[in-house]
């Protein structure tokens, strides 16, 4: 049985695997030209104050609009860009585009927002990183305290000797750093004392199990205590339902992101949501946690 299953599997999956490999190869070629051909776009996912439902920040998330293949998600092309050594240039483009967008929003008189930008280990560890950030801030007259750079524990681990210097430089510029996907890395916690660290983003894998998983609940509560005691703020990621929202609110989490409030959306859609005032709770949430 095992033998024939193997043969079947080979017959069934090998053409699929070949197709996947062909796509990867083609994407690699096309990714090299995507920046020059202006095929990248940013979408923005709102981050809300859990207590009020008010939008306080947005995270810039990258989309590749391929002329033939349509929209491609970062999960597929970011690892490819990393392998090809392109990610650093893409990150720089993203920071530039996000700061430009913030400048337009400020000039248009929209309510003040923080903008979060993901930074790969490769750019974070590059000698030109600090100069690149400083240049974007100057070009777009970006209020630096409204910029949050999201890095992973993996990026911190890779940096070694330059870590202190990089973090001090960001701190002096007034730029905050968030630890993205917090709790999924394999590093020590000592880096949480570094200058510029302002925020922990609780990974969605822990939020997913709330409120029923006792383990996830304990982990999330411990993360919130840790961030509070260190003077950091926490953002919970991947909030998809009201029960998760209620748990996090009650546990003292200040801010959250997730499909419950909004998917990542276009600039026009962000503006529409921001203008939908004076409604303080545009998401129709039950903001008072249910009794019991």
Residue 30 or 180: the one with the smaller Cβ distance to Mg ion is 180
The pair of structure tokens assigned to 8 is 């079947």
Q: Residues in contact with Mg ion, total (CB under 5 A)?
A: 6
Site string for Mg ion, 226-255 (x = CB under 5 A): -----------x------------------
Residue 69 or 277: the one with the smaller Cβ distance to ligand C2E is 69
- We find the least distance from the C-beta atom of residue 81 to ligand C2E, in angstroms, to be 8
User: Could you write out the DSSP letters of every residue in 127-160?
Assistant: TTHHHHHHHHHHHTT--GGGEEEEEEHHHHHHHG
Q: Tell me the CA distances in angstroms from 258 to 6, 51, 175, one per residue in order.
A: 41, 15, 24
Does 91 participate in binding Mg ion (rule CB under 5 A)?
no
Could you say which of Mg ion, ligand C2E, none residue 146 binds, taking C-beta under 5 to 8 angstroms by partner kind?
none
Residue 96 or 135: the one with the smaller Cβ distance to ligand C2E is 96
CB of 144 closer than 8 Å to CB of 137: yes
Task: Choose, by CB under 5 A, the member of 30, 150, 153, 255 that binds Mg ion.
Answer: 150
Residue 181 or 216: the one with the smaller Cβ distance to ligand C2E is 181
Residue with the two structure tokens 């990714």: 31
Could you say which of ligand C2E, Mg ion, none residue 178 binds, taking C-beta under 5 to 8 angstroms by partner kind?
none
Residue 169 or 199: the one with the smaller Cβ distance to Mg ion is 199
Identify the CA nearest to 69 among candidates 26, 112, 98, 124. 26
| Residue 30 backbone phi and psi in degrees, to 5 | -70, -30
Peptide bond preceding 85 in cis form (omega within 30 of 0) = no
- We find the least distance from the C-beta atom of residue 238 to ligand C2E, in angstroms, to be 4
Task: Choose, by CB under 5 A, the member of 30, 91, 92, 181 that binds Mg ion.
Answer: 181
Helix, coil or strand: residue 289: coil
Site for Mg ion in 250-269 (CB under 5 A): none
Contact residues toward ligand C2E (CB under 6 A) are 45, 61-62, 73-75, 78, 87, 91, 94, 118, 120, 150, 180-181, 204, 237-240, 257-259, 264
CB of 176 closer than 8 Å to CB of 149: yes
Region of 281 on the Ramachandran plot (φ > 0 left; ψ -120 to 50 alpha; else beta): beta
| Termini Cα distance of the chain | 54
Give the CA count within 13 Å in the CB-facing half-sphere of 152. Answer: 13
- We find the least distance from the C-beta atom of residue 29 to Mg ion, in angstroms, to be 28
- We find the least distance from the C-beta atom of residue 290 to ligand C2E, in angstroms, to be 21
Does 153 participate in binding Mg ion (rule CB under 5 A)?
no
- We find the least distance from the C-beta atom of residue 204 to ligand C2E, in angstroms, to be 6
Binding positions for Mg ion, rule: CB under 5 A: 118, 150, 180-181, 201, 237
């Amino acid at each position: 049985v095992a033998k024939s299953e193997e043969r079947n599997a080979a017959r069934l999956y090998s053409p699929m695997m070949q197709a996947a490999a062909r796509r990867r190869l083609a994407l690699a070629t096309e990714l090299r030209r995507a920046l020059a051909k202006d095929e990248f776009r940013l979408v923005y996912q709102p981050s809300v104050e859990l207590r009020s439902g008010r939008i306080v920040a947005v995270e810039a998330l990258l989309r590749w609009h391929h002329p033939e293949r349509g929209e491609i998600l970062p999960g597929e092309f970011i690892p490819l860009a990393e392998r090809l050594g392109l990610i650093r240039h893409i990150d720089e483009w993203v920071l530039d585009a996000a700061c430009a967008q913030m400048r337009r929003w400020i000039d248009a008189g929209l309510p003040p927002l923080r903008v979060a930008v993901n930074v790969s280990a490769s750019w974070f560890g590059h000698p030109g990183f600090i100069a690149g950030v400083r240049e974007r801030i100057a070009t777009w007259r970006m209020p630096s305290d409204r910029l949050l750079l999201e890095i992973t524990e993996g990026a911190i681990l890779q940096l070694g000797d330059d870590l202190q210097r990089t973090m001090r430089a960001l701190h002096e510029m007034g730029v905050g750093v968030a630890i993205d996907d917090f709790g999924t890395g394999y590093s020590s916690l000592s880096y949480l004392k570094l200058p510029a660290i302002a925020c922990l983003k609780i990974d969605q894998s822990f939020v997913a199990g709330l409120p029923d998983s006792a383990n996830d609940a304990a982990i999330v509560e411990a993360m919130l205590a840790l961030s509070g005691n260190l003077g950091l703020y926490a953002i919970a990621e991947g909030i998809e339902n009201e029960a998760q929202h209620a748990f996090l609110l009650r546990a003292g989490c200040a801010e959250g992101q997730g499909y419950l409030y909004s998917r990542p959306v276009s600039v026009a859609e962000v503006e529409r949501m921001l203008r939908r005032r004076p409604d303080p709770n545009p998401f129709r949430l039950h903001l008072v946690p249910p009794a019991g």
